[in-house]
Chains A and B, each alone.
Chain A
Amino acid sequence: MAESLFLSTKPLPFCPGCSHHLVVRHTAKALEQLGLKPLEVVLVTDIGCHGIVDPYFRTHTVHGLHGRSSALGAGIAAARKGGKVVVYLGDGGASIGLQHLIECARMNFPLTVLVLNNMLYGMTGGQPSSLTPCGFRTPLRPEGKLEPHYDLCRIVHSAGAEYVSRVNGTGDFSAALVEAFGIPGFSLVEVVETCTSYGLKFNPGQKTGEIAHNAGLEFGVWRNPGKSVFRLSLNTNRGSLFKESSIAVQWTAKLQNRLGILVGGSAGGRVQQAAEMLARASIASGLYATKKGTYPVTVGTGYSIAELILARQPIRYSGIEVPEVAVIVSPDGLSYSEGLLGEMKGGLLLIDEALNSPSTGAKVVTQPFVKTAGTKNAALLALLYLLKITETVPVAALLNEIKMASREGPEVASRLEKQLGQLEGKSDSNEVAKERD
């Protein structure tokens, strides 16, 4: 073997006549032709016959998982400022890791993938891959592959790769490699070969080029206009996540011990935001608070449950064993919470007047929260009402949080304050509620 800057002088480890020899030698030739030095190049391989070639390269070498070398190489390439990352992948590996190739093309990672398509999985006995042409015979499918194949080059090209080519692995395709390696972004070269051990034996007399042609796999080049190359950019001056989050104590809470509040509503009812605002208002009133949410995976429908703990002392356990107060503003919230409401031996249940009161040991107070504030603000109005009748936390503290929450906050707070006034006359439960405090 001729002396190469990139290769050791040892004979390559492939079967006699295997086109992998040519892939390796043309790779070295093309890299030399581009003036690259071995330590400027990272070769990434994975599982398959091509993957045993690492020790023969004088480049950096990384030997990864079957089908994943293009994703691994993408990470290496994106983090480097220069040099060249070359990935070897078999047709089996390309089938396993098709997603990674599409991502490489979409993101335009700066690397070149060589797909050594010998039309079967060689190391595992010769089963067909997704690239194996229909009808091609292998040891594990001697009757011929029955299922269709796909055209990898066209898939990767349609995903946005700058340069894609398919070459016949029996000739000198080093010029195609020079061109591919010179692409600043992502390039892929599919080298069509016939496995000498399994392919030739089971498909005697068939030439590689004919097999490709009959399968509709034309040799050629497909290009897309150059686009921005993805390289990882580190910004070490990102601001702290803690800025603007400190809550100043501006009010005084009357709550002396600990209050567990369950808020039950529906998605879209701003239950979680309302509960978070009350938690913040409580902190602004000198208390400790926790707020947790429970909801199904659906975003726009179903129940939305918030659990709040307000306490004079630091809180450890953030669950509510049985709530002291429950605030229910929707059928979803009622349905989810009915069991827990049944466990309440005392305490207070605030429930929208349109809902049927459940069986509970809590004192029940009904108010037209939804009718007065609409579904989006019913939970907030109910919590304001709770503060009004229990005086655990000042109403002003929650109104302030509502004001601060968004650009529309002042208007919402003003409207809710008026609506809260409308509810006052209807309340006959002040004495009941105050028992809780």
Chain B
Amino acid sequence: MVLIDGSRLIIESLARAGADVFVGYPITPANLLYRYAIMRFPAALSAPDEITTMQWLCGFSATGLLPVTATSFPGFALMLESINMAYMMELPVVVVLAQRLGPATGSATAGADGDLLLLRGTISGGHPLPVLAVNRLEDCWTIPPLALETAAMLRTPVVILTSKEMVMTQFSFELEKLSEVKPVNRRGCSCDDHYESYAPGDDLVPDFLPVGNSRHQVRLNASTHNRQGIIQHLSAEGLENTARLEKKITLNLSRYTRYHLDEENGADTLIVAWGNAALAAEEALERLRLRGEKVSLLLPNTLLPVPAEYPAIMSRYRRVFVVEENLSGHLRTVLFGTQGRNGVVGVNSLGKMITPEEIVAKVMGKNG
């Protein structure tokens, strides 16, 4: 048994999965991720700010390395344009986003799960950005390698969404139960005679050759471009390429869909929780069942894009309680839109963890 925080698991699993280089600025509450990455990654650099961070990372990624950074909202906000660049250039990058209480600099040392709607709108044009949440300590071991694999295979930035509670609180934990982490597959190219930087494969993802290779010319481009990577205005080929960026993320969604579902026969109530609220929801589930309530629990890891499984699961329940540590109900909005659905209730908080008993009270109160 060890006393461990999620940061240590996240960095160790990423390193074992084959992440090459970490660049970061030690913003709270991502400080431990930064510290551990410097100790563990094959290479690590301190950057003066988050724009520089993401640009250096994209440079590394363009040469074939698998880079990682960790940040919180203020840093993520600075990275926004550069993440769009990585998305457009099709460069794999993993961003661990440790949420904290906003808006703006908010409270650096207070937890929150308030960045999901920002992530839904991160890529201009509404293109989907893969976002994977760590809800339980075990997820800190299994989700980061999946994020790295997804980034490499789909040639895209991927966000691991976590928050202060998971990356800073220490938990007793049995390392012996951890599964083996296998090195991720890196996207390559078997092309001999001809190569186009953005010619899509069957999975709509282009094969990868690093810039600077001696076999074929590589052209990367952050502006609208054709298959060769040459800047376009509104050519059909350029727009087709831009549309493909969206399609490749959704086409391959099943490859990175993960969730924890604990269903009880006969239950007509479902609790959906993520981030800080997930552990409280698990405990609430246990308390409710001890009181004879029939309740199921969904802890989604893949938050964006929304896997087709979620609507299917939720449609089986008359009442759905979406528990999350933000005021407006980010996941609830993502899942049900602004109009909601009959029987859907939010359990929300600002600046404090939602307690198991608050969830129990809401469910027992028949508010749905």
Do A and B form a real pair? yes
A-B contact pairs, 23 of them (CB 8 A): A39-B217, A40-B214, A54-B219, A55-B230, A62-B89, A62-B211, A62-B219, A75-B58, A75-B63, A78-B59, A79-B65, A99-B48, A100-B52, A103-B48, A238-B42, A241-B39, A246-B1, A247-B2, A279-B172, A283-B172, A296-B109, A318-B165, A318-B279
Contact partners of B51 in chain A: CB under 8 A: 68, 71
Closest residue of B by beta carbon distance from A55: B230
Contact partners of A60 in chain B: CB under 8 A: 211-213, 217-219
Question: Which parts of A178-237 form the interface with B (CB within 8 Å)?
Answer: 232-236
B46 CB → nearest A CB, Å: 10
Contact partners of B216 in chain A: CB under 8 A: 39
Q: Is A249 an interface residue (CB 8 A)?
A: yes
Interface secondary structure of B, over-half rule: mixed
CB < 8 Å: which of A64, A282, A295, A315 contacts B109?
A295
Q: Across chains A and B, which 10 residue pairs bring their CB atoms closest together, nearest first? A: A75-B59, A71-B55, A292-B169, A234-B42, A79-B63, A75-B56, A76-B59, A317-B283, A319-B353, A60-B211
Contact partners of A291 in chain B: CB under 8 A: 3, 169-170
Contact partners of A75 in chain B: CB under 8 A: 55-63
Residues A62 and B220 in contact, CB atoms below 8 Å apart: yes
Q: Is B259 an interface residue (CB 8 A)?
A: no
Q: How many angstroms between the C-alpha atoms of A233 and B45 in the bound complex?
A: 11
Residues A242 and B48 in contact, CB atoms below 8 Å apart: no
Contact partners of A236 in chain B: CB under 8 A: 42
B91 CB → nearest A CB, Å: 10
Q: Is B41 an interface residue (CB 8 A)?
A: yes
Contact partners of B81 in chain A: CB under 8 A: 65
Residues B220 and A63 in contact, CB atoms below 8 Å apart: yes
Contact A72 to B172, CB < 8 A, known contacts A236-B42, A291-B3, A321-B357: no
Q: How many angstroms between the C-alpha atoms of A292 and B212 in the bound complex?
A: 47
A248 CB → nearest B CB, Å: 9
Interface centre among B3, B4, B8, B45 (most CB of A within 10 A): B3
Residues A61 and B65 in contact, CB atoms below 8 Å apart: no
Q: Is A290 an interface residue (CB 8 A)?
A: yes
Question: Which parts of A38-65 form the interface with B (CB within 8 Å)?
Answer: 38-40, 42, 51-52, 54-55, 58-65
Contact partners of B357 in chain A: CB under 8 A: 321
Contact partners of A232 in chain B: CB under 8 A: 21, 43, 45, 60, 65
Interface centre among B56, B60, B81 (most CB of A within 10 A): B56
- Contact flags A390-419 to B (C-beta < 8 A → 1, else 0): 000000000000000000000000000000
Residues B231 and A54 in contact, CB atoms below 8 Å apart: yes
Q: Is A152 an interface residue (CB 8 A)?
A: no
Contact partners of A290 in chain B: CB under 8 A: 169-172
CB < 8 Å: which of B3, B89, B108, B225 contacts A279?
B3
Question: Which parts of A82-111 form the interface with B (CB within 8 Å)?
Answer: 83, 99-100, 103
Contact partners of B109 in chain A: CB under 8 A: 294-297
Q: Is A144 an interface residue (CB 8 A)?
A: no
Residues B279 and A316 in contact, CB atoms below 8 Å apart: yes
CB < 8 Å: which of A64, A242, A276 contacts B2?
A242
Closest residue of A by beta carbon distance from B278: A316
Known: A42-B211, A241-B11. 6 other contacts (CB 8 A): A60-B217, A61-B229, A63-B221, A64-B222, A79-B64, A80-B212
Q: Which residues of A contact B (CB under 8 A)?
A: 38-40, 42, 51-52, 54-55, 58-65, 68, 71-80, 83, 99-100, 103, 232-236, 238-242, 245-247, 249, 276, 279-280, 282-283, 287-297, 315-319, 321
Contact partners of B58 in chain A: CB under 8 A: 64, 72, 75
Contact A241 to B12, CB < 8 A, known contacts A75-B57, A247-B1: yes
- Contact flags B3-24 to A (C-beta < 8 A → 1, else 0): 1100010011001000011000
Residues B214 and A321 in contact, CB atoms below 8 Å apart: no
Q: How many residue pairs between the two chains, A and B, have CB atoms under 8 Å in the bound complex?
A: 213
Q: How many angstroms between the C-alpha atoms of A99 and B28 in the bound complex?
A: 23
B278 CB → nearest A CB, Å: 9
Q: Is B207 an interface residue (CB 8 A)?
A: no
Residues B28 and A297 in contact, CB atoms below 8 Å apart: yes
Contact A238 to B222, CB < 8 A, known contacts A42-B212, A58-B217, A79-B65: no
Closest residue of B by beta carbon distance from A230: B45
Contact A61 to B39, CB < 8 A, known contacts A74-B56, A78-B59, A297-B109: no
Closest residue of A by beta carbon distance from B105: A297
A108 CB → nearest B CB, Å: 14
CB < 8 Å: which of A59, A99, A321 contacts B49?
A99
Residues A77 and B59 in contact, CB atoms below 8 Å apart: yes
Q: How many angstroms between the C-alpha atoms of A90 and B57 in the bound complex?
A: 23
Residues B218 and A64 in contact, CB atoms below 8 Å apart: no
Q: Is B175 an interface residue (CB 8 A)?
A: yes
Contact partners of A73 in chain B: CB under 8 A: 59
Residues B59 and A241 in contact, CB atoms below 8 Å apart: no
Closest residue of B by beta carbon distance from A38: B217
Closest residue of A by beta carbon distance from B169: A292
Closest residue of A by beta carbon distance from B58: A72
CB < 8 Å: which of A233, A288, A315 contacts B43?
A233
CB < 8 Å: which of A103, A249, A295 contacts B1?
A249
Q: How many angstroms between the C-alpha atoms of A281 and B60 in the bound complex?
A: 43
Q: How many angstroms between the C-alpha atoms of A62 and B55 in the bound complex?
A: 12
CB < 8 Å: which of A68, A288, A318 contacts B55?
A68
Q: Is B85 an interface residue (CB 8 A)?
A: yes
Interface centre among A100, A315, A319, A321 (most CB of B within 10 A): A319
Contact A247 to B3, CB < 8 A, known contacts A42-B212, A60-B212, A65-B82: yes
A319 CB → nearest B CB, Å: 4
Closest residue of A by beta carbon distance from B228: A55
Contact A238 to B63, CB < 8 A, known contacts A61-B229, A318-B165: no
Q: How many angstroms between the C-alpha atoms of A117 and B280 in the bound complex?
A: 58
Q: How many angstroms between the C-alpha atoms of A280 and B55 in the bound complex?
A: 41
Contact A292 to B221, CB < 8 A, known contacts A232-B60, A283-B1, A316-B279: no
Q: How many angstroms between the C-alpha atoms of A245 and B172 in the bound complex?
A: 11
Question: Which parts of B136-177 form the interface with A (CB within 8 Å)?
Answer: 136, 165, 168-172, 175
A400 CB → nearest B CB, Å: 14
